Structure 1
Amino acid sequence: MKKNIYIIGAGFSSLSASCYLAKAGYNVTVLEKNSTIGGRARQFIKDGFTFDIGPTWYWMPDVFDSFFNDFNKTTSDYYQLEKLNPGYQVYFDVLESILIGDNLDQICEVFEKEEKGSSVFLRKFINEAKNNYEIAIKDLVYKPGLSIFELITPQTITKLNQFFTTVSYQVRGHIKSPKLIQILEFPVLFLGAKPSDTPSFYNFMNYADFGLGTWHPKGGMYEVVKAMESLAKELGVKFLTNQNVEKIVVNNNTINGLIVNGEFLEADIVLSGADYQHTESLLDENYRVYSQSYWEKKTFAPSSLLFYVGLNKKLENVSHHTLFFDSDFDLHAKDIYDNKRWPDNPLFYASFPSITDDSFAPNGNEAATFLIPISPGIEDTPEIREKYFNLIINRLEKLTKQNIKDSILFYESYCVKDFINDYNSYKGNAYGMANTLMQTAFLRPKIKSKKVKNLFFTGQLTVPGPGVPPSLISGKIVSNLILKQLKLNIDHETTI
């Protein structure tokens, strides 16, 4: 008889895992607490405007390709991609910005113009980053994080020092321009930690940026969610929304089932793509592996204050992805990770997808998403949200030299309380656990419970870490481990 596998949550990692497990022939049901699937990558639609609620960057296209290729499919079977040029724009002062082109030669020209000689370092840096990327993506990130020996390979032995120096140290040792430093340190923020705390081996994110480029799926990131849902359904996965998992039921240290909306569902395997800390809170205390003090001591990736804004005109002097680095980068990072307070003058990011894709806004209008990285767990009130909305709109007007306030049709906000309410996110974090040296690979929370047989985890709080491509990989990693476990169970039953 086929085994019943229940997956908690319908984010990218869960969608990925559901496809692999269904392909292997198991009965897979995905339980989503919200009314639509996608987890943090859901969609918000209002008055003809469309917004990706969560991720807006499509980086590392090879990881998406690899996922669909595992099912004899391609991304183009489901959605169309456009490479952005510029990939993004970075503001430093009034009408003073740097455009990051779609190829390294263009980017080197920009660097050389800003700092003579910097392009020589940049080419060496990106070449090394490419090599690290190939090592990481082809091998390391697909490891289950069970042992330190997963990291010890002939390739990584030669790069051991890169695990004990930081991206910040590497960049600042060769680049003097504060602008170029910020641009080179920016990509590792996707890993959820300060560049000064991120091992320099992770400079492979710079290759993801300058080497592979920034892409846009027509219709937005939610098209990727829909594609994965479609593939999963083709493979036989069942999706149930508005399903609140209230308890994980364990008998004799083995999964027995779930209580969902007051009803018991018998399960052979439970995989949680929901917040790890929340998932363990659904277990009786003696079955939890990680204590409250464990979570308190960990370095979490930021939360976010987000605004979704409908504008009745097209904007000038901005790109699809625009970063506003006109304030102190280091001070903002300290407020997130060290001071754990609201920043006085934050950096922020803006996405204007309607510049590229007409489907995001009515004709002649602009859809805008703004994001301020903040410390998880800090105070979140309507007054604070309004204060920061006014702050970034004022700065946007000043930096881009245009009136924006009078063109705002509406705006909606999303912050710490919403992350907690919608995703049971620990302290309202947006990106999971940071990839610092002491929270890398086997040092992250395990994808397989040590106390409960047939209970597994996937997503941003376990391996390989934060981000959409790592989430797809996490789903594959955990699926492989589950399939091995099921084979062991069958072999054990056969011998008995």
Structure 2
Amino acid sequence: MKKRVAIIGGGIAGLATAAILAADGHNVALFEKKNEVGGRAGSLSSGGFRFDTGPSWYLMPETFDHFFNLFGSSAGEELDLKVLDPAYRVFSEGEDSGATVLDIARDTEQNIATFEEVEEGAGAELRRYLDSSRDSYDLALKHFLYTNFTNPKNFLKKDIITGLNKLLPLLTQSLETFVGRKFKDNRLRQILGYPAVFLGSSPDLTPSLYHLMSALDLTGGVMYPQGGFVTLIDAVERRAVEAGAVITTGATVTKVLTEADGGFGKQARATGIVWQDRDDVEHRHEADIVVGAGDLHHLETKILPKELRTYPQKYWDKRTSGPGAVIVLLGVKGELPQMPHHSLFFSKDWHENFVAIREGRMPSPASAYVCKPSETDPSVAPEGHENLFILIPVPAAPAIGRGGPDGTGDSAVERIADEVIEQMADWAEIPDLADRIVVRHTLGPGDFAEDLFAWRGGMLGPAHTLRQSAMFRGTNQSRKVDGLYYAGSSTIPGIGLPMCLISAELVAKRLRGDTSSSPLEPLER
């Protein structure tokens, strides 16, 4: 039956939800607080440079291709994808000063050879590790990502039952322990453990099941869409609009409207939303279905009445946030051949990095991730210049402050930005890096909290610890309000662009009554 749907939030999850539900025949309206869609996958232009301000790793390509397949297209048709080689470079803090450098290549065999050069026997061990990670990745895609966990029979499949002896240990030991039992060299451990950061966690808290991520970045799976990640957002938005969704930007949703006659044993049912435009004029929009595709903490604790909250504040008080971040956007004069498209700068004692972040301290020296998209994409920087995106994990604490242009951000934000720029210059042997900066803009946890309503100013969402993964992550349907659903990184299946695309599909499966663990078939057009 055709429904009136109101979607809160125009990040990739909200846009994808709008596209699928509109294609299903529903009357869809999406409301986005900012003046442009994209959410965390934002964009900033300054001085002839264009910066992605959020996601910059294109992994899990099957999920993007599947999403566009739903509309009779493909990722290859929608995006100009380039495979990166090397996939990334790792700068590891040395014993005295400077850093050692390792490249992770596009070719799996080359990576196996690199591991063997660093540590005898590590090449063969990596081959076994990648076989295991591929098996886990395939199992997750088949059974654990495209499901709302509403049908127990889905988990009685033969390959799940026969694999329990391998699956259970992967759930009950940390990624740090799992990797540490197989590799001794600290650099190799860091390469295999760092995906935990992109899951909003740390290797010592992330279940080792997530070693499945290595099936992607160590086997030729790192790509980049020419034009940046805004082209991905544009493609998903285009699908939503073509399907009939209406998108309103500059629209801050302030309330979910309900009536106290909920069905299915619920206390109320959703009847629409209240939103404010750029001039603070209030509007009402009636709807049968409301989808919160922004920050779940904000929706549940700020714009729902207390008595109708599935996830009240006491729930969040017991949960673990992913880290915050200081993001540094630099336009640099001249070339920087020392760094490829992706670089990782790992401090020697990175366990202390994670402990510091959990305890609310700024890490020093900090580990950092650097993207140089101008290596691959000439459109993001003027000729003869480089574009750098630097991400520094810090505590999820808005009090750390906001960033700004040309060093005008809050002191803690600018201080760690200066430290990491100096550290990069030292480790990558670019002594004049600071002198060559012509554009600088920073973002801090305060920006995430203010601009995205992000819980605790986190850059990603709730961390992927055991009790916050898969069926333990939390339902994507309100337990108290009939017709209220959730999409995005706060809910299942989790953090990252691919997961957010899947979360949109899971909402559609809820509305269809589809309890399978399989992806949707292509939509009728």
Q: TM range, normalised to the smaller chain?
A: over 0.9
1:4 alignment counterpart: 4
More helix by share: 1
Sort the Cα spacing of 1:212 and 1:455 in 2 relative to 1 into closer, same or farther, 3 A: farther
Aligned partner of 2:329 in structure 1 is: 308
| 3-state SS in 2 of match to 1:196 | coil
Contact 2:258 2:272 in 1 (8 A): yes
Task: Supply the AA of the counterpart residue of 1:304.
Answer: A
Does residue 106 in structure 1 map to residue 102 in structure 2?
Answer: no
Q: 2:289 aligned to 265, 269, 282, which one?
A: 269
TM-score, normalising length from structure 2? 0.90
The alpha carbon displacement at 1:439 in A equals 1.2
CA distance in 2, matches of 1:150, 1:187: 28
Report whether the alignment pairs 1:318 with 2:339: yes
- Aligned partners of 2:52 and 2:27: how far apart in 1? 30
Task: Tell me the amino acid that sits aligned with residue 122 of structure 1.
Answer: L
What amino acid sits opposite 2:68 in the alignment? F
- Are 1:142 and 2:162 an aligned pair? no
SS in 2 for 1:197: coil
Q: Say which SS state the counterpart of residue 388 (structure 2) adopts.
A: strand
* Corresponding residue to 1:123 among 123, 127, 131: 127
Report the Cα distance in structure 2 between the residues aligned to 1:461 and 1:290, rounded to whole angstroms: 11
1:433 to 2:453 alignment: no
Of the three residues 387, 400, 404, the one matched with 1:367 is 387
| Deviation larger for 146-155 or 302-311 | 146-155
Equivalent residue for 1:384?
412
Residue-by-residue CA offset, 1:136-166 (whole Å, 9 max, x unaligned): 0122111114477755643333222221122
Contact 2:18–2:245 under 8 Å retained in 1: yes
Paired with 1:482 and 1:40, the residues of 2 have a C-alpha distance of 26
How far the C-alpha of 1:329 sits from its partner, in A, is 1.1
Change (3 A) 1:206 1:148: farther
Q: Distance in 1 between matches of 2:320 and 2:61?
A: 28
Q: Offset at 1:326?
A: 3.3
Q: State whether structure 2 residue 176 is matched by structure 1 residue 165.
A: no
TM-aligned CA deviation for residue 413 of structure 1: 0.8
Q: Where does residue 225 of structure 2 map in the other structure?
A: 217
Q: 1:460 is aligned with what amino acid?
A: S
CA contact 2:259–2:269 (8 Å) conserved in 1: yes
Cα distance between partner residues in 1 of 2:315 and 2:361: 22
Alignment partners' CA distance in 1, 2:205 and 2:416: 27
Match of 2:400, SS state, is coil
Task: Label 1:307 to 1:391 Cα distance change in 2 as closer, same or farther (>3 A).
Answer: same
1:319 and 1:151, CA in 2 relative to 1: closer, same or farther beyond 3 A? farther
Counterpart check, 1:354 vs 2:374: yes
* Contact 1:147/1:442 (<8 A) preserved: no
**Shift in CA distance, 195/155, structure 1 to aligned 2, threshold 3 Å:** farther
**Could you report, residue by residue, the CA deviation over 1:213-257 in whole angstroms, capped at 9, with x for unpaired residues?**
210100111110001111111111111100010111110101111
Please state whether the residue corresponding to 1:466 is helix, strand or coil: coil
Which one-letter code corresponds to 2:449 in the other structure?
A: I
Query: How many Å apart are 1:77 and its aligned residue?
Result: 2.1
Conserved 8 A contact 2:381-2:387: yes
Equivalence for 2:275: 260
Unaligned runs of 5+ in 2: 261-267, 277-281, 402-409, 515-525
Cα deviations across residues 151-191 of structure 1 (Å, max 9, x unaligned)?
56433332222211222111111111001000011123222
Give, in angstroms, the shift of residue 395 of structure 1.
0.9
Q: Is the 8 A contact 1:340 1:378 kept in 2?
A: no
Where does residue 249 of structure 1 map in the other structure?
Answer: 257
CA drift of 1:197 comes to 1.7
Q: Match for residue 398 of structure 1? A: 426
- How many residue pairs get aligned? The number is 484
Is 1:299 the counterpart of 2:307? The answer is: no
Cα deviation for residue 115 of structure 1 reads: 0.6
Distance 1:102 1:198, change over 3 A: same
Match of 1:443 among 468, 472, 496: 472
1:404–1:137 CA distance, 2 compared to 1 (3 A): same
Residue 412, structure 1, aligned to residue 441, structure 2: yes
SS in 1 for 2:361: coil
Q: Distance in 1 between matches of 2:194 and 2:455?
A: 24
**Alignment-mate amino acid for residue 236 of structure 1:** G
Q: Distance in 2 between matches of 1:478 and 1:344?
A: 42
1:95 to partner: Cα distance: 5.5
Counterparts of 2:485 and 2:271 in 1: how far apart (Å)?
13
133-142 or 81-90: bigger deviation: 133-142
Aligned partner (choices 208, 211, 236) of residue 203 of structure 1: 211
Root-mean-square deviation (Å): 1.5
Corresponding residue of 1:490: none
Match status 1:51 vs 2:51: yes
Provide closer, same or farther for how the CA distance between residues 182 and 156 of structure 1 changes in structure 2, counting only shifts above 3 A.
Answer: same
| Post-superposition offset of 1:302 | 1.1
Distance in 1 (CA, whole Å) between partners of 2:290 and 2:120 is 56
Question: In the alignment, does 2:471 pair up with 1:458?
Answer: no
CA offsets, 1:66-93, max 9 Å, x none?
1111111011222110000000000014
- Counterpart Cα distance in 2 of 1:165 and 1:393: 36
Contact 1:43 1:53 in 2 (8 A): yes
CA distance 1:228–1:14, shift in 2 (3 Å):
same
Residue 259 (structure 1) shift = 0.7
Report the alpha carbon displacement of residue 311 of structure 1 after superposing the two structures with TM.
1.1
1:405-444 Cα offsets, whole Å, 9 max, x none, are 1111121111111001111111101111111111122222
For 1:405 and 1:198, locate their aligned partners in 2 and report how far apart those are by CA, in whole Å: 36
Q: Counterpart of 2:290 in 1: which secondary structure?
A: strand
Distance across 1 between alignment mates of 2:257 and 2:220: 45
Match of 2:189 in 1: 181
- Name the SS for the 1:226 alignment partner: helix
**Distance between the aligned counterparts of 1:140 and 1:394, measured in 2?**
43
Q: After superposition, what is the alpha-carbon deviation per residue over 1:372-403, rounded to whole angstroms, capped at 9, x for unaligned?
A: 01121263241111211210111111112221
Work out the CA distance in 1 between the residues paired with 2:206 and 2:67: 27
Separation in 2, partners of 1:354, 1:264? 44
Q: Secondary structure at the match of 1:461?
A: coil
For residue 265 of structure 2, what is the aligned residue in structure 1? none
Query: d(CA) in 2 for partners of 1:423 and 1:149?
Result: 38
The letter of the residue matching 1:344 is: S
Q: Distance in 1 between matches of 2:159 and 2:466?
A: 18
Q: Does the 8 Å contact 1:8/1:272 carry over to 2?
A: yes
Identity %: 32
Cα 1:287–1:147 shift into 2, 3 Å: farther
Q: Which amino acid aligns with 1:484?
A: G
Q: Which runs of 5+ in 1 are unaligned?
A: 486-496
C-alpha separation in 1, matches of 2:189 and 2:154: 32
Q: Who is 1:488 aligned against?
A: none
